[in-house]
């Protein structure tokens, strides 16, 4: 495996759009009280919990959004979120009814923030609601979830306050997201203070209340016509009568309808659903028989893992494999899902093969798991009992406050001699911001993190590896296995979360026992605790950064 391939994400999550029926309409989903069945009655019923037990990360949301979700303490999406978010982030029009407290607001907030590409002076999202209190509440939700997206601006406008104040906000600090009541939004649009020509997402919360009122409905229709024809329309309510649903759908194109109430029925209208009871080893034969028997235009076959998919398609032939290697095997095998995939790949290869497994941090608990893949393995542990020494690597810490980190970093980069430097931070936003700051301070830098497309990641990695750039700012994505021989200084700008991560980070310098320098910032008691853990576990003494350092101690041949 090449270094470039090491940068690819492992996680494989497939969010597939719902298939339209032959009339071109998206499905209608009705979920009630925990379990689900199709329109065809059957003997098998399942708990809905099993459907939505995965986390928000499975929606492939931006890292900034996932971090905000974690800050809020949310772990698993609700029924309405599980059904709505994957469709909403694909731009599908949605009309949704679900009782209060099920997280409807988070659906459109997360979906629009996921799709939003903020452009100065352009309003991209309009959210209409029937009361100023609800408008204010929704604007706070947007601010809560976009707190790690500093470029995004949110404003709320409603009646009862001078229009001039709102016009000043729109003129001086035009928001990307506007929340408000229909009357005030229409007034601002008519006065040309609010430009709706760039709106891409049109949301109505408690849409039955908004559209029940003839006057408010007229306002909504007028606002709607001022926005571009091509836009996503999302409508939500806790109480959506059958009479108002057709009114909602008049604003939409082929909408997905999601109705969550209390009778435990999941309905996909027009879709026949059956099950086949059989043993694992009978699946292939049955599949061939059914494909031979049924008439179809196109078929999609879902499997549970990437290797299974490749094997089924015959795109990857593993019958001639002679060597089976796992690098950083502890990380691969600690994840249950990843371990299952490895086991499945392993079974597809010949029984007689060589198996090699490597890691910098291999706990006693994971070693027996590794050996299950092997026959009479030789075990080699260098510096046993995890007393790992990075020979030739100088390690120091700098005690400082959070707001002193940038200034100290600039001073050290200006003072120290280096070939290449890696600076580790704890989040994507910090990575981007620090990279920008360094470049502005005449220290050209590149960044690598999970928030960027794989192609861009590989291009940045190649640029750094080929010595086109001397400073790299990275998250833990770069912390394992990447070998850049010229790196001789590593900064822990943010303290790693544990001693394992510390080891992998600082090991980017001092490769193969050569000289190097690791500098770790200690900003609070938590940082100090992790530093003590590192010293205790690896039996190393990490001293405070001296005023002067002999360059010969951290750069070869000096």
Please choose, from the candidates 309, 375, 377, the residue with its C-alpha nearest in 3D space to the C-alpha of residue 348: 309
pLDDT at residue 223, as a whole number: 95
245 and 296 share one domain: no
135 and 237 share one domain: yes
Domain count within the chain: 3
Burial of 396 (0-12, 13-18, 19+ CB in 10 A): middle
Does residue 10 lie in a domain region?
no
221 and 291 share one domain: no
361 and 408 share one domain: no
Does residue 339 lie in a domain region?
yes
Q: Which domain holds residue 531?
A: 393-553
Q: Are 153 and 174 in contact (CB under 8 A)?
A: yes
CA distance 390 to 511: 9
Each residue's pLDDT tens digit, 414-432: 999 999 999 999 888 889 9
Tokens 């310098």 map to which residue? Answer: 509
pLDDT at residue 454, as a whole number: 80
315 and 401 share one domain: no
CA distance 553 to 558: 8
Does residue 159 lie in a domain region?
yes
> Within the chain, which residues score under 70 in pLDDT?
1-54, 261-271, 304-315, 382-392, 479-483, 510-514, 557-558
CATH of the domain at 250: 3.40.50.300
pLDDT at residue 411, as a whole number: 93
Does residue 32 lie in a domain region?
no
DSSP assignment of 22-91, as one string?
TTSPPPEEEEETTEE--SS--S--EEGGGTS-S-GGGGT--HHHHHHHHHHT--S--HHHHHHHHHHTTT
165 and 295 share one domain: no
Each residue's pLDDT tens digit, 330-373: 888 887 778 888 888 888 889 888 999 988 777 778 888 888 89
410 and 479 share one domain: yes
pLDDT at residue 504, as a whole number: 80
Q: Are 47 and 34 in contact (CB under 8 A)?
A: yes
pLDDT at residue 301, as a whole number: 82
Does residue 127 lie in a domain region?
yes
Does residue 331 lie in a domain region?
yes
85 and 199 share one domain: yes
Q: Which two tokens stand for residue 494?
A: 């943010």
Q: Are 268 and 39 in contact (CB under 8 A)?
A: yes
356 and 501 share one domain: no
pLDDT at residue 517, as a whole number: 92
pLDDT at residue 371, as a whole number: 87
Given 339, 371, 403, which residue is the final one in a domain?
371
Count of H-run helices and E-run strands, the chain: 20, 19
Given 256, 275, 301, which residue is the final one in a domain?
256
407 and 515 share one domain: yes
Given 241, 256, 271, which residue is the final one in a domain?
256
Does residue 313 lie in a domain region?
yes
537 and 499 share one domain: yes
336 and 460 share one domain: no
**φ, ψ at 493 (rounded to 5°):** -60, -40
CA distance 459 to 164: 49
Does residue 61 lie in a domain region?
no
CA distance 309 to 441: 48
Please choose, from the candidates 376, 418, 407, the residue with its C-alpha nearest in 3D space to the C-alpha of residue 493: 407
Could you give the C-alpha distances from 384 to 367, 374, 380, in angstroms and in order?
A: 13, 21, 9
């Amino acid at each position: 495996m090449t270094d470039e391939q090491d940068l690819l994400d492992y996680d494989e999550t497939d969010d597939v759009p719902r298939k339209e029926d032959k009339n071109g309409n998206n499905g209608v989903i009705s979920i009630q009280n925990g379990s689900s069945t199709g329109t065809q009655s059957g003997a098998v019923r399942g708990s809905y919990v099993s459907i939505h037990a995965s986390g928000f990360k499975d929606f492939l949301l931006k890292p900034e959004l996932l971090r905000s979700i974690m800050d809020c303490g949310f772990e698993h999406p609700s029924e309405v979120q599980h059904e709505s978010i994957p469709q909403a982030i694909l731009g599908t029009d949605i009309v949704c009814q679900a009782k209060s407290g099920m997280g409807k607001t988070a659906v459109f907030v997360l979906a629009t923030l996921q799709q939003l590409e903020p452009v100065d002076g352009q309003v991209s999202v309009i959210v209409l609601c029937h009361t100023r209190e609800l408008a204010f509440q929704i604007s706070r939700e947007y601010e809560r979830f976009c707190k790690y997206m500093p470029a995004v601006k949110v404003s709320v406008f409603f009646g009862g306050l001078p229009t001039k104040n709102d016009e000043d906000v729109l003129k001086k600090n035009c928001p990307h997201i506007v929340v408000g009541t229909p009357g005030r939004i229409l007034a601002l649009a008519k006065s040309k203070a609010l430009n709706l020509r760039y709106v891409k997402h049109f949301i109505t919360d408690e849409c039955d209340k908004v559209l029940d009122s003839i006057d408010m409905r007229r306002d909504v229709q007028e606002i709607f016509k001022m926005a571009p024809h091509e836009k996503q329309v999302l409508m939500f309510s806790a109480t959506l009568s059958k009479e108002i649903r057709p009114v909602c759908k008049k604003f939409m194109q082929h909408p997905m309808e999601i109705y969550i109430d209390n009778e435990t029925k999941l309905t996909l209208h027009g879709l026949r659903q059956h099950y086949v009871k059989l043993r694992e080893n009978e699946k292939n034969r049955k599949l061939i028989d059914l494909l031979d028997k049924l008439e179809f235009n196109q078929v999609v076959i879902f499997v549970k893992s990437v290797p299974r998919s490749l094997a089924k398609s015959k795109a990857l032939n593993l019958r001639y494999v002679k060597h089976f290697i796992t690098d950083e095997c502890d990380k691969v095998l600690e994840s249950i899902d990843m371990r299952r995939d490895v086991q499945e790949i392993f079974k597809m290869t010949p029984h007689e093969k060589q198996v090699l497994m490597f890691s910098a941090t291999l706990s006693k608990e994971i070693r027996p798991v590794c050996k299950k893949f092997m026959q009479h393995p030789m075990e080699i542990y260098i510096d046993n009992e995890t007393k790992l020494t990075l020979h030739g690597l100088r390690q120091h810490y700098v005690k400082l406050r959070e707001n002193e980190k940038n200034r100290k970093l600039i001073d050290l980069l200006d003072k120290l001699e280096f070939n290449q430097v890696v600076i580790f931070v704890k989040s994507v936003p910090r990575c981007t911001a620090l990279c920008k700051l360094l470049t502005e301070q005449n220290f050209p830098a590149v960044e690598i993190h999970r928030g960027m497309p794989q192609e861009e990641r590989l291009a940045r990695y190649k640029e750094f590896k080929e010595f086109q750039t001397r400073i790299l700012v990275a998250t833990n994505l770069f912390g394992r296995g990447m070998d850049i021989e010229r790196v001789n200084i590593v900064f822990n700008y943010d303290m790693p979360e544990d001693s394992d991560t510390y080891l992998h980070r600082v090991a980017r310098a001092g490769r193969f026992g050569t000289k190097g320098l690791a500098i770790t910032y200690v900003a609070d008691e938590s940082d100090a605790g992790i530093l003590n853990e590192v010293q205790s576990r690896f039996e190393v003494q990490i001293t405070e950064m001296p005023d002067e350092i002999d360059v010969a101690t951290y750069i070869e041949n000096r």
